[in-house]
Amino acid sequence: MHTCRTLLVDAFTDEPLSGNAAGVVPAADDLSADQMQAIARELSVSETAFFVESEEADRHVRYFTPTTEVDLCGHATIASHVHLFEAGDIEPGTHTLETNVGVLDIDVTDDGTVWMTQDDPEVESVDLEYDRLGDALGIDPAALRDVGEDLPLAVSSTGLPILIVPVNFLSHVGSADPDMDALVELGEEVGAMGIYVFTFDAVEAESTLHGRMFAPAVGIPEDPVTGTASGSVGAYLRAFGAFEDEDEDDNENESGDGKENGNGSGESDGFPDELRLEQGHFVDRPGYVRVRVDDEAVRVGGRATTALDGDLVVPDAGDDDIIEA
């Protein structure tokens, strides 16, 4: 047996025990996949990031939920790079990170804010019955139809496919009582690993929207604050012109060409420079994700704080012993 340094770092917050906790193992070259999975199960947070050497980038990361490996995780990326910065292992600037979806750029500012450039966005509308979806989420289907007239249901991906579901009011988002088995079935049907419900009726006036993320298919009933899904919803909002202003609408109506903007892509020229997405309030882990979307990239940013720093005793590969904290 040997020990490995293991941290719990709370992402998208400046306050410990809020935001989204990520496990971070900064030196995992000697660990097998089974050992990584066992550590993730022991930590029992939504994702744990394991760093190993890379021949393609500055470092290579693997992400594990308590039950499976996933290709990408926004909050664990933010959390781990804040730790590396505060430990003096990296300087402000751009760093490259090898993931299962490719090599991504990670930018660290002088104040310790970390920005993650996500994969090229892919957004596609899906056809689901609102009654069925409402039953699965435990939300009145009328609250979905109300917004669906302007913003459709869609699967959006900036690395992981997420079913994006707009809802009219915060009260409906907060009172959601999802049937996890039904959500798994819906996700499999549309090719999504999780479901993100959101409303523009946010808790705080400075927030763009409030969201909740359910991902039971990968062992996460509800994720407190989700970086990857935040990038996906940012791409979704831009793709469907959620922030078009009245002048743009008037110009389009006068032109009579039926396009949502000048390039006909459905993307709004009036899109904000930065979005502020709030999440986690209904599970007592409030956090805030900064999202920037433009023609070049989708970027997700935030701060983090370390809540726990210690060692785990790890059984040798192939042993059936339980990890001891």
- Considering the candidates 15, 47, 56, 185, report the single residue annotated as catalytic: 47
Among the listed residues 234, 227, 21, 271, the one whose alpha carbon sits nearest the alpha carbon of residue 104? 227
Cα-flanking dihedrals φ and ψ of residue 75, to 5°? -70, -35
Active site residue 47: yes
Q: d(Cα 140, Cα 161) in Å, to the nearest integer?
A: 24
Distance CA 221, CA 212 (A): 11
Q: Where are the beta strands (DSSP E) in 69-202?
A: 69-70, 93-99, 102-108, 114-117, 122-125, 154-157, 161-166, 194-199
Backbone angles phi, psi at 37, to 5 degrees: -65, -40
Q: Which residues are catalytic?
A: 47
